[in-house]
């Protein structure tokens, strides 16, 4: 796996706690949580740990999830494989017997295509938008006049007329109708027999559709990208321009998995078979086929792979300042906004506005740093010391310990994570936080103080 110049990629797999090898979809909620639809359940990821959500309150007969999305009102919606839906927000979880054939993002909000009709997802519930349909709804959109159109898969194209669903008899074969997308005065229709438009002139087939089946289409700014049996193409008025080289092309399936998405500045991110593109520039070459694609809250790109990996692709925003070469294990920004770096081979380094400044810190190994309430800098290395003007005052009680983590709690006590356990320093006294037969016996590497202390 390789990231393009200026980009970083992070990878999580089953070895990191993802409970299933099949990750079908991914989305991020406004609180920053990342959610995965997997064949082993609905999974929540906080950036550190993966947790299978207890969905028993939804009373769904199956725990195989195939799609997940977020409605504009903040509710999370997840679809199972033909066994109903659930909606979730905060501590509330609801089950819905309707099985989703598609999540449809419309200007009016989130729509849910089901096996019995089209619904709007509102406040965690489903509200009917159409009469009962003869088959599952895979796509839906309103045209410029407000007419609601439905894509019914193998049953073709239909319109909602009053309290009836009227199937169309187009002048040309469509095949399996998959998605409908509003784009100004026209609708785009993807189907097994090509790419079509619907406007005031009627239904027309794109002149460059060729023989490929079309699965989905995304409008990103002024660009249009379609997933086809032959890979992702950029759609122009008279051409289909392949995004990938012939060697990299492959079928792009499932309308729920987008062929493209937009960054905050409108730049398209395009998912090929194994390559992720920023407009026309590759930013990721993966080891296996890419599946779901989403843009996160901070402009990072989340993708899943056919082998069950979760990938986060983000811009490389950090450059090493002059003099910062080496293995950096810990960073600290002090109250003067100076940056301190604990390194494995050069001791502690100090930078002010990106430039090195003198520090009376010891050379050699250093793992961690902390700033005390009085502004003093404490250094964890082979032993613990407090930085002073002419050097570092050691703490004799832990002189023989490898200090891997430091944390001042809200009471001003210093917690010391060592290779051999946990220590606490309060009122100038350093002692073990627990008796020898209790507490952690493995190296303590990180602290987190909860809101209640």
pLDDT at 255: 37
pLDDT at 138: 94
pLDDT at 317: 61
The structure tokens listed for 373 are 């309430």
Summarised one tens digit per residue, pLDDT across range 250-291 is 655 443 357 899 998 899 999 988 899 999 899 999 988 898
Residue 363 has pLDDT above 80, yes or no: no
Q: Which are the contacts of 136, defined by CB distance < 8 A and separation ≥ 6?
A: 101, 113, 114, 115, 152, 153
CATH assignment, 328-432: 2.120.10.30
pLDDT at 254: 43
pLDDT at 256: 36
- Evaluate whether 422 touches 433 at the Cβ level (below 8 Å): yes
Residue 36 has pLDDT above 70, yes or no: yes
255 Cα distance to chain centroid: 18
pLDDT at 251: 58
Would you list the domain boundaries of the chain?
2-315, 328-432
Q: Looking at residues 130-141, what average pLDDT do you find?
A: 92
Residue 113 has pLDDT above 50, yes or no: yes
Summarised one tens digit per residue, pLDDT across range 439-451 is 887 889 889 888 7
pLDDT at 257: 57
Whole-structure pTM over 0.85, yes or no? no
**Closest-CA residue to 87 (of 120, 51, 49):** 120
- Who has greater pLDDT, 62 or 227? 227
| Rounded (5°) CA angle 122-127-128 | 145
Q: Looking at residues 423-447, what average pLDDT do you find?
A: 89
CATH superfamily of 2-315: YVTN repeat-like/Quinoprotein amine dehydrogenase (2.130.10.10)
- Confidence band (pLDDT; 50, 70, 90) for 151? very high
- Evaluate whether 160 touches 168 at the Cβ level (below 8 Å): no
CA distances (Å), origin 340, targets 322, 330, 331: 14, 8, 6
- Evaluate whether 1 touches 286 at the Cβ level (below 8 Å): yes
Q: Looking at residues 359-386, what average pLDDT do you find?
A: 88
Q: What rounded mean pLDDT belongs to the chain?
A: 89
């Amino acid at each position: 796996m390789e990231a393009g110049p200026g980009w970083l990629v992070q990878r999580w797999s089953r070895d990191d706690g993802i409970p299933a090898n099949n990750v079908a979809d991914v989305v991020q909620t406004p609180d920053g949580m990342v959610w995965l639809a997997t064949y082993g359940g609905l999974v929540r990821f906080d950036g550190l740990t993966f947790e299978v959500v207890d969905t028993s309150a939804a009373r769904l007969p199956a725990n195989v999830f195939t799609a997940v999305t977020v409605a504009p009102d903040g509710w999370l919606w997840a679809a199972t494989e033909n066994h109903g839906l659930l909606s979730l927000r905060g501590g509330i979880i609801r089950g819905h017997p309707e099985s989703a054939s598609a999540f449809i993002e419309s200007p009016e909000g989130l729509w849910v295509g089901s096996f019995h009709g089209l619904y709007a997802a509102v406040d965690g519930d489903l509200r009917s938008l159409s009469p009962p349909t003869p088959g599952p709804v895979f796509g839906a959109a309103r045209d410029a006049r407000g007419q609601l159109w439905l894509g019914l898969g193998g049953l073709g194209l239909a319109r909602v007329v009053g309290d009836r669903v009227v199937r169309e008899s187009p002048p040309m074969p469509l095949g399996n109708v998959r998605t409908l997308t509003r784009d100004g005065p026209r609708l785009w229709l993807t189907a097994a027999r090509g790419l079509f438009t619907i406007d005031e002139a009627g239904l027309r087939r794109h002149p460059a559709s060729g023989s490929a089946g079309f699965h989905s289409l995304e409008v990103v700014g002024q660009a249009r990208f379609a997933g086809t049996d032959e890979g992702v193409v950029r759609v122009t008025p008279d051409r289909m321009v392949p995004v990938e080289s012939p060697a990299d092309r492959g079928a792009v399936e499932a309308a729920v998995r987008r062929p493209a998405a937009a960054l905050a500045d409108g730049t398209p991110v395009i998912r090929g078979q194994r390559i992720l593109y920023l407009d026309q520039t590759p930013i990721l070459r993966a080891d296996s086929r890419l599946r779901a694609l989403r843009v996160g809250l901070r402009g990072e790109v989340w993708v899943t792979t056919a082998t069950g990996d979760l990938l986060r692709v983000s811009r490389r925003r950090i450059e090493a300042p002059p003099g910062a070469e080496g293995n950096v294990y810990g960073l600290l920004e002090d109250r003067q906004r100076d940056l301190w770096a604990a390194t494995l081979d050069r001791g502690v380094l100090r930078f002010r506005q990106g430039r090195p400044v003198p520090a009376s810190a010891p050379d050699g190994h250093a793992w961690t740093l902390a700033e005390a309430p009085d502004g003093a800098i404490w250094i964890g290395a082979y032993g613990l010391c407090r930085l002073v003007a002419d050097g570092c005052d050691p703490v004799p009680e832990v002189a023989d310990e490898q200090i891997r983590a430091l944390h001042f709690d809200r009471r001003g006590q210093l917690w010391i994570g060592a290779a051999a356990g946990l220590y606490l320093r309060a009122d100038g006294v350093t002692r073990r936080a627990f008796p020898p037969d209790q507490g952690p016996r493995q190296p303590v590497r990180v602290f987190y103080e909860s809101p209640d202390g």
